Amino acid sequence: MKIIYCGDIVGRAGREAVLDNYDLIKQKYEPDVFIINGENAAHGFGITQKMCEEFFAKGIDAITTGNHAFRKIEILPYMDSCKKLIRPLNFPPKSPGKGFCEIELLNGRKILIVQLQGRIFMEPMDNPLHAIDNLLKDYHLGKNIHAIFVDIHAEATSEKLSVGYYLNGRVSAVVGTHTHVPTSDVRILNKGTAYQTDVGMCGDYDSVLGFNHEQPVDRLLGKANAGRLVPAEGKGTVCGIFIETDDQTGLAIHAEQVIIKPED
């Protein structure tokens, strides 16, 4: 199975970068499944139903989120009804939506997409490892599911690495999001799980994590009149990962970083 995953989409620049490069990505990588992280799509914080439907209409198969999953209040009923939009699995049990979705391809192959949220330097959450252990009681790679893709939305690189090694050999891929900076450690771990600490963001990189640099710099200077964060609106770059798995074992056989710049 061939999987494309694009990291945190930040604002209009990120949305347009993914939508405008969608056909190019499909042609180059021929993915069976196309997943994106949309938690910063709506002016940098959250996502709306309209945006989700635009992505789905283009051909996106599933959208993960993260700590900003519920920033747009209007998304809550849609998250309950849309199985392809997921929030972190270890959110409180009565939270809207689900932390995973199962997609069946036209040829009958199935992929489980899961999102976890880290706890170091982030809001208090249930233990992500306990949450996924409980979920994986019903899914066994290479037996009743062809691929398992896990997005770990976390701040600390050590926490992401720990999740990767904890799930090594039990899932097809563990891929990090949230820090908006692509890391250069794409690899397949020794038991067959594809891994990258952070795939980076989709957005304008002439910025501070996708936002105009003026406000973050003013905040760093301690200015009392520092304004709210505003997404940068230059040409966006797509950052993500391409993974290919073995349909018999569900383990990764190839993984590579994906970066498409405006000039490409």
Out of 68, 146, 153, 180, which one is annotated catalytic? Answer: 68
Q: Which two tokens stand for residue 73?
A: 């209040």
Mean pLDDT of 156-165: 98
Kindly give, in sequence order, each residue whose CB lies less than 8 Å from that of residue 180, ignoring residues fewer than 6 positions away: 7, 8, 10, 198, 200, 201, 203, 209, 210
Task: Specify the residue for token string 């180059």.
Answer: 28
What is the per-residue pLDDT for 178?
97
> Partners of 111 in the beta sheet?
103, 147
- What whole-number distance in Å separates Cα of residue 3 and Cα of residue 197? 17
pLDDT at residue 264 is higher than 80: no
Do 34 and 59 touch, CB atoms closer than 8 A? Answer: yes
At 247, is the pLDDT very low, low, confident or very high (cuts 50, 70, 90)? very high
Do 60 and 34 touch, CB atoms closer than 8 A? Answer: yes
The 10s digit of each residue's pLDDT in 94-141 is 999 999 999 999 999 999 999 999 999 999 999 999 999 999 999 999
Question: What amino acid is encoded at 60 in this protein?
Answer: I
The residue range of the domain holding 107 is: 2-260
What is the per-residue pLDDT for 118?
97
- What whole-number distance in Å separates Cα of residue 103 and Cα of residue 105? 6
DSSP 42-63: TTTS---HHHHHHHHHHT--EE
pLDDT at residue 227 is higher than 90: no
Domain count, the chain: 1
- Of the candidates 54, 87, 56, 44, the one whose C-alpha atom is nearest the C-alpha of residue 69 is 87
At 188, is the pLDDT very low, low, confident or very high (cuts 50, 70, 90)? very high
Q: Which two tokens stand for residue 238?
A: 């797509």
What is the per-residue pLDDT for 251?
98
Task: Specify the residue for token string 């009958």.
Answer: 108
- What whole-number distance in Å separates Cα of residue 165 and Cα of residue 180? 22
At 55, is the pLDDT very low, low, confident or very high (cuts 50, 70, 90)? very high
DSSP state of 5: E
* pTM more than 0.85: yes
What is the per-residue pLDDT for 88?
98
Do 236 and 202 touch, CB atoms closer than 8 A? Answer: yes
pLDDT at residue 225 is higher than 90: no
3 state SS of 121:
coil
The 10s digit of each residue's pLDDT in 75-95 is 999 999 999 999 999 999 899
The pLDDT mean for the chain works out to 96
Concerning whether 68 is annotated as a catalytic residue, the answer is yes
Q: Which two tokens stand for residue 113?
A: 């997409």
- What whole-number distance in Å separates Cα of residue 136 and Cα of residue 104? 18
CATH of the domain at 46: 3.60.21.10
DSSP state of 240: E
Mean pLDDT of 9-17: 97
